[in-house]
Chains A and B, each alone.
Chain A
Amino acid sequence: MPKLLFEKRFSNSLEPGRSKFFGSIIMWVVLAFFLFYTVAPMVWLLISSLKTNAELIASPFSLPEKMQFTNYTNAFQVSGLNRLFLNSMVVSLSATILNVLIAAMAAYVIARFNFKFKEVIFTIIIAGIMVPISSLMVPIFTLIKTLGVYNTRLALILTYTGVSLPLSLFIIRGFINNIPVELEEAAIIDGCGFYSRFFKIIFPLAKPGLITAATFQFLYSWNEFVYAMLLTSSNSVRTMQVGIRFFSNQFTTDYTSMYAAIVISIIPSIIGYILFQEQIISGLTSGAIKG
Chain B
Amino acid sequence: MKKTISSKIGMVLFLLPAGLFFISFFVYPLVFIIITSFTSWDGLSQPVFNSWNNYRFVLSDPTFKLSIQNNIGWILAGGFLQVPLAVLVAILLARKPKGWKFLRTVYYFPNVISIVAMSMLWMAVFNSEYGILNGLLKAVGLEGLQQNWLGNYFTAYPAVVLFGVFYIGYFMIIILAEISSIPETYYEAASIDGASRLQQELHITLPLIRGSTLTCMTIAMVYGLRQFEQTYVMTNGGPANRTMVLVLYLFKKINDFQYGVANTSAVFLLMIGVIIIVGLRRLFRAKD
Residues of A at the B interface (CB closer than 8 Å) are: 1-2, 4-6, 9-15, 20, 23-24, 27-28, 30-31, 34-35, 37-39, 41-42, 44-45, 59-61, 102-103, 105-106, 108-109, 112-113, 115, 123, 125-136, 138-140, 143, 158-159, 161-163, 165-167, 169-171, 174, 177-178, 181, 184-185, 188, 193-195, 198, 208, 212, 215-216, 219, 223, 241, 244, 255, 259, 262, 265-266, 269-270, 273-274, 277, 280-281, 284-285, 289-291
Contacts and interface: CB of A to CB of B under 8 A. Distances in A.
B7 interface: yes
B96 interface: yes
A219 B170 CA distance: 11
Given A34-B89, A134-B247, A136-B33, A126 B177 contact: no
Interface stretch (B53-61, B62-70, B148-156, B178-186): B178-186
Given A143-B29, A162-B21, A262-B113, 18 more contacts: A1-B98, A34-B166, A45-B117, A106-B14, A106-B15, A109-B14, A130-B277, A132-B250, A135-B33, A135-B269, A138-B43, A161-B21, A162-B22, A212-B173, A215-B173, A216-B170, A277-B104, A277-B173
Given A10-B191, A12-B191, A194-B6, A174 B214 contact: yes
B174 interface: yes
A135 B262 contact: yes
Contacts of A130: 222, 225-226, 269-270, 272-274, 276-277
Contacts of A125: 18, 22
Interface residues of B, number: 102
Given A9-B187, A123-B277, A266-B113, A139 B29 contact: yes
Interface stretch (B139-147, B192-200, B236-244): B192-200
B15 A109 contact: yes
28 contacts: A1-B98, A2-B98, A9-B188, A30-B88, A31-B93, A38-B110, A41-B110, A41-B117, A113-B1, A113-B11, A123-B277, A130-B274, A131-B273, A132-B225, A132-B250, A133-B226, A139-B28, A159-B25, A165-B25, A166-B26, A167-B222, A171-B215, A193-B10, A194-B6, A223-B115, A259-B117, A266-B113, A266-B114
A48 to B, nearest CB: 8
Contacts of A161: 21
A31 B247 contact: no
B1 to A, nearest CB: 5
Given A35-B103, A163-B25, A284-B177, A42 B110 contact: yes
**Main SS of chain A's interface residues?**
helix
Interface of B: 1-4, 6-7, 10-11, 13-15, 17-19, 21-22, 24-26, 28-30, 32-33, 43, 88-89, 92-98, 103-115, 117-118, 120-121, 124, 127, 130, 132, 166-170, 173-174, 177, 180-181, 183-184, 187-188, 191-192, 194, 196-197, 200, 211-212, 214-215, 218-219, 222, 225-226, 228, 246-247, 250-251, 259, 262-263, 266, 269-270, 272-274, 276-278, 281
Top 7 A-B residue pairs of the complex, sorted by shortest distance between their CB atoms: A130-B273, A162-B25, A106-B18, A139-B29, A194-B10, A269-B112, A194-B7
A14 B166 CA distance: 33
Contacts of B166: 34, 37
Contacts, number: 266
A273 B187 contact: no
Contacts of B106: 35, 38-39
A127 B277 contact: yes
A85 B26 CA distance: 29
A41 B132 CA distance: 13
B112 A273 contact: yes
A195 B170 CA distance: 32
Given A123-B277, A135-B266, A274 B7 contact: no
A73 to B, nearest CB: 20
Given A105-B18, A165-B18, A140 B130 contact: no
Contacts of B15: 105-106, 109
A4 B247 contact: no
B96 A134 contact: no
B14 A108 contact: yes
Contact of B112 (A123, A181, A266, A285): A266
